[in-house]
Amino acid sequence: MSAHPGLAAWHAYMAAGGDPQALRALLAEDAVFHSPVVHTPQEGRDKVFAYLHAASHVLGGDSFRYLREIVDGDQACLEFVCELDGIQINGVDIIRWDANGKIEDFKVMVRPLKAINKVWEKMATMLAAQAR
């Protein structure tokens, strides 16, 4: 576990199974999310919450684990792996925190192409369910 308090809070959120109130508390009001499948940044706490909450449920199952992390001040790069419907997913979360320790920028990159397609499919379903 990292000494950065924001990163420690992110790991606690992921380990606890994705509590929505815990996630909302981690996000800055002006947070921005960069999706591996949506080309425009998603801006504002509510949009970032929707994407990260869906992602934590789509990707954060039993097979999800972080392999390594690189931390530099208020930024971190976390490499992860998981399996979705038999497809091996490898990706990175690139996170930046503001001066209050809240997530202000979160970028996800995923490989290979087969994995991106599966993530897009599952995320679309989860986001649609959340919107209802």
Residue range 24-55, pLDDT digits in tens: 999 999 999 999 888 899 999 999 999 999 88
Contacts of 9 (CB under 8 A, 6+ apart): 22, 26, 101
Average pLDDT value for the chain: 89
Domain boundaries, the chain: 5-131
Q: Identity (one letter) of the amino acid at 22?
A: A
| Best CA proximity match to 6, nearest among 58, 60, 78, 64 | 78
Q: Number of helices (H) and strands (E) in the chain: give both, helices first.
A: 4, 6
Residue range 47-89, pLDDT digits in tens: 999 999 988 888 877 899 999 999 999 999 999 999 988 999 9
Q: Is 28 left (phi over 0), alpha (psi -120 to 50) or beta?
A: beta
d(Cα 42, Cα 38) in Å, to the nearest integer? Answer: 9
Q: What fold, for 5-131?
A: Nuclear Transport Factor 2; Chain: A, (3.10.450)
